[in-house]
């Protein structure tokens, strides 16, 4: 014997109103070549579409099912800024920063008529940013040595949209990773290049997201970030 399962709360189209503004600069600051971008935005979203994994309401013994529901309303606002500067012909510096403030302002969805609270907005760190430095040194002939270091950092975030109701325990800590690279261009002959690189240089242990199935299977799982990696590249341009 089978049963037909009808979701009376069929999901509707998601509608967003977005307002953005910003400024760009490309020129010189104190005699140094520089560029800067700054932008801010605010977005209002109606009928936010989100995946949900509720227990089968016809036969709970069958476990969870996957459906799409509408969260009535969300608001996302924030800003992004980028600055690059060259204090000398051999040195380039840059930094970026982003702030995101996202929340479900009307957060009750009703799949199968059952009120379900959503929040916070998943996979959105409040703060993130990066910085880099590049040093270029001329060598014999046309060869040059380029050394780059960059760092990325972000604050904590949740990987479930129903942390406050169905799937608690999905907060992941912030993390910081660093990468370095050394390149030699036009090595021995024009067009030959050698590169040595390392990512996650200090072997930071971190998480980049997860699968929130605590409400259906009783367990949440987090995805581990990329471990320390390094390598060597040989390039030929012709």
Tokens linked to 202: 């200090």
Query: CA-CA distance, 115 to 205, in Å (whole number)?
Result: 37
Query: CA-CA distance, 111 to 55, in Å (whole number)?
Result: 11
Contacts of 23 (CB under 8 A, 6+ apart): 36, 37, 38, 39
Q: pLDDT tier at 1 (50, 70, 90 boundaries)?
A: very low
178 forms beta bridges with 151
pLDDT in tens, 87-135: 999 999 999 999 999 999 999 998 888 899 999 999 999 999 999 999 9
Tokens linked to 178: 């660093």
The pLDDT assigned to 52 comes to 86
Query: CA-CA distance, 25 to 192, in Å (whole number)?
Result: 35
H helical segments located in the chain: none
pLDDT in tens, 155-184: 999 999 999 998 999 999 999 999 999 999
Q: pLDDT tier at 148 (50, 70, 90 boundaries)?
A: very high
Top pLDDT among 126 and 62 is at 126
């Amino acid at each position: 014997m089978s049963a037909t399962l009808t979701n009376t709360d069929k999901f509707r189209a998601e509608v967003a109103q977005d307002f953005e503004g910003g400024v760009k600069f490309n020129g010189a600051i104190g005699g140094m070549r520089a560029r800067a971008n700054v932008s801010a935005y605010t977005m209002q979203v109606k009928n936010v579409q989100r995946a949900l994994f509720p227990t089968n309401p016809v036969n709970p013994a069958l476990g969870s099912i996957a459906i799409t529901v509408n969260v009535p309303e969300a608001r996302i606002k924030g800003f992004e800024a980028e600055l690059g500067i060259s204090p000398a012909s051999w040195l380039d510096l840059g930094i970026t920063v982003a702030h995101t403030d996202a929340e479900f302002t009307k957060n009750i969805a009703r799949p199968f008529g059952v009120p379900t609270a959503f929040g916070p907005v998943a996979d959105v760190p409040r703060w993130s940013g990066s910085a880099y430095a590049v040093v270029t040194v001329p060598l014999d002939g046309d060869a040059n040595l380029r050394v780059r270091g960059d760092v990325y950092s972000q604050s904590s975030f949740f990987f479930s949209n129903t942390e406050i109701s169905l799937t608690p325990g999905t907060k992941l800590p912030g993390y910081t990773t660093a990468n370095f690279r050394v390149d030699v261009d036009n090595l021995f002959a024009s067009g030959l290049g050698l590169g040595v690189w390392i990512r996650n240089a200090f072997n930071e242990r971190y998480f980049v997201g997860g699968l929130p199935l605590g409400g259906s299977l009783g367990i949440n799982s987090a995805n581990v970030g990329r471990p320390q990696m390094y390598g060597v590249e040989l390039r030929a341009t012709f």
